[in-house]
Structure 1
Amino acid sequence: MGSKGRKHIMDKAELQRRPLTLDEKLGLFFNSNKVLVLFPASFIIYLIQPFFFLIFGLLSFALIKRREVKVPKMPFFLPASSGINYDPFNPSPAKKQDGSKSYRGAKGIVYFGNEVENNLQCWFDNGTVKQHCSFLAATGSGKTFTMIGIFNVNSLIFGAGYILIDGKADLDLAHKEISTTSV
């Protein structure tokens, strides 16, 4: 089977070096922060060919504005560490003077994992976790181990500690915490 069987196997490094098409390159450029280069480019166009300055300047302004307005979409709250002041999942109970809705900033503090279909992160705020997060299951199904995993991940993400009080006084709890943190 020597070299005959290996001719169809591609090296992983070669797959990653695949050249991008022009459409892919333009899409990556316009959806990144590199699009800000268009403003200085419009000034250079003004010096070389003033006729095209207005067209290119308006086009670059529209592309930059489109990039600026883009808010990431997640199934629940946006993470508080993102610093975004507009979270579409977090409406304010108070309405504006004209009666329209207003939205608060990102408040997600508990990371629960990723959504199955879209692989989007699931973050919950403090109030949602207190109101809706409960683990109902039979004895021995892994409730404590699941909670330890969630607490450990969130404490590592935010660089903070946590306190876990076990009503059963299980001495094996400390061993479970250490083993899940050290992995």
Structure 2
Amino acid sequence: MNRTIRGLEDHETQERKRLHRDVRSPSQRLADALKLGQVQIGGMFGAGVCLFLFPVLATPLFLVGIALFLARCACVNGERLPFRMPMGLYGTDRGDPLPGRGGFARPEGIFFLGNRLQDKQELWLKAKDILTHCLLFGTTGSGKTETLVSLSYNALATASGLFYIDPKASPKLAVQIWQMARFLGRDDDFRVLNYGTSGKVKGKSPRRLSNTNNPFTFGSAEALTQLLVSLMPASDGANSIFADKAQALISGVMYALVDLRDKGLLKLSTSIIRDALALEKCVALALHPELDQESRASIQAALGTSGWIAGREMKDQPPSFAEQFGYAQSYFGKALSSLTDTYSHIYGAEDGEVDFADAIMQQWIEIHSSLCFYIICYFYCEIFLSGSLDSPEKSACSLHFCGYICGYQNLGCPKREIV
């Protein structure tokens, strides 16, 4: 029994240009053809060859060559690329008109996208075009990651900063970016935060899995509190009162710890925060003699929400105090355990090697390989929104810091939404 094959064969495919009818008149087609650069240059070359082959027609061939040369000169000024012209070219960019005026801007293209498939023309973007952001769609295996890696070369080639977030944690990504940085002599600027813990086997782990980072070295108490609150597990309506007590507790503790950190009495880290949330140490922190009045009032008010009474010894506190405190403390147990134990190869250092504000100013190259990258995005948001880069000496330099997130994902942070 013969099967009936339904579908197109290779010999049945049609070219796209045969599906679209050209409605131009013959004269219009000729005029448009003469405007093409390859036709003009080819005509001049052909006229020059014919001068030697047919000397008797030297005069008309010479006039044809002159006409094509003048046509070429006239058309060059009107030529443009599909997007922008690359920086460094002479003249104006016809594809970048000045708003409200009849002129055109100078070529300012600095970001090379590639070549257009139809005619191989270069596709350039200028700095303002990049700031409007880009979103790249593609099916699985279509080459999204390789495309973003190739586009990141623009940032490296212009000595710009770069942070690349890869939720898939591709093993070869960091090697690819490092090779490009090495080729451009920027391997000293390379940093990587690797959240993959599959290689953490005692006695068999590599010497270094990642660079280190301490997100609590800098920042205000409010910003650090919001970071920890964003790591809290979701609670339903019945347990919302305990979640509110947990937020009040961590807010008071962070005010006290940041106060001591700013006075140089301790180096704040995830392990210090976890230890400070223990019942006895939290009460001792509330009674610390070096706290200022505002921080002391904040942490004592936070303890008061759990039933703590100031001026009493621990043995004289209400029986429900330890129970209520334990409920509030439990909201941060998993998050602090992950930061302190699971990711100890990153957050276990008191003085981290990666400082996000310094990375922006010094134009570092950072690779963040993990599904736990909302912490990184949160701190970049805080840096840009806090105005820490608005000082005159910092704003005098031109900052171009490119960021790539490989993998479409909606990141939920308090009062932030990053795609």
* TM-score normalised by structure 2 residue count: 0.25
**Which residues of structure 1 form unaligned runs of 5+?**
1-23, 36-51, 53-57, 96-100
Q: Who is 2:94 aligned against?
A: 88
AA at the equivalent of 2:148: M
1:176 aligned onto 2:176:
yes
Is the 2:112–2:151 Cα contact (8 Å) retained in structure 1? Answer: yes
Show the counterpart of 2:162: 164
- 1:144 CA drift (Å): 4.5
Q: Which residue type is aligned with residue 122 of structure 2?
A: Q
Greater RCO (CA < 8 Å, at least 6 residues apart): 2
- Partner AA of 2:134 in structure 1: C
Distance change in 2, residues 1:104/1:65 (3 Å): farther
Deviation at 1:26, TM superposition (A): 8.2
What is the SS of the residue equivalent to 2:150? helix
Secondary structure in 1 matching 2:161: coil
RMSD of the TM alignment (CA)?
4.3
Q: Give the equivalent residue in structure 2 for 1:70.
A: 75
Alpha-carbon shift at residue 175 of structure 1 (Å): 0.8
User: Following the alignment from structure 1 to structure 2, what is the Cα–Cα distance between the partners of residues 75 and 147?
Assistant: 21
Alpha-carbon distance between aligned partners in 1 of 2:144 and 2:40, rounded to the nearest angstrom = 48
Unpaired stretches in structure 2, ≥5 consecutive residues: 1-37, 49-58, 184-419
Moved more, 161-170 or 127-136: 161-170
Separation (CA, whole Å) in 2 of partners of 1:78 and 1:178: 29
* 1:28 maps to 2:35: no
- Aligned residue in 2 for 1:3: none
Cα shift at 1:118: 1.2
SS of 1:166's equivalent in the other structure is strand
Q: 1:63 to 1:166 in 2, by over 3 A?
A: closer
Question: Offset at 1:62?
Answer: 5.7
CA distance in 2, matches of 1:61, 1:160: 42
Q: Which has the larger radius of gyration?
A: 2
Counterparts of 1:106 and 1:87, CA distance in 2: 5
Q: 1:160 to 1:25 in 2, by over 3 A?
A: closer
Quote how far apart the aligned CAs of 1:180 are: 6.0
- Listed as ranges, the matches of 1:1-150 within 5 Å are 27-28=41-42, 30=44, 64-71=69-76, 72-81=79-88, 83-95=89-101, 101-135=102-136, 143-150=144-151
| 1:109 CA drift (Å) | 1.1
SS in 2 for 1:149: helix
**Secondary structure of the residue that 1:150 maps to in structure 2?**
helix
Equivalent residue number for residue 225 of structure 2: none
Amino acid of the residue matched to residue 130 of structure 2? Answer: V
Q: Percent identity, aligned pairs only? A: 24
The letter of the residue matching 2:176 is K
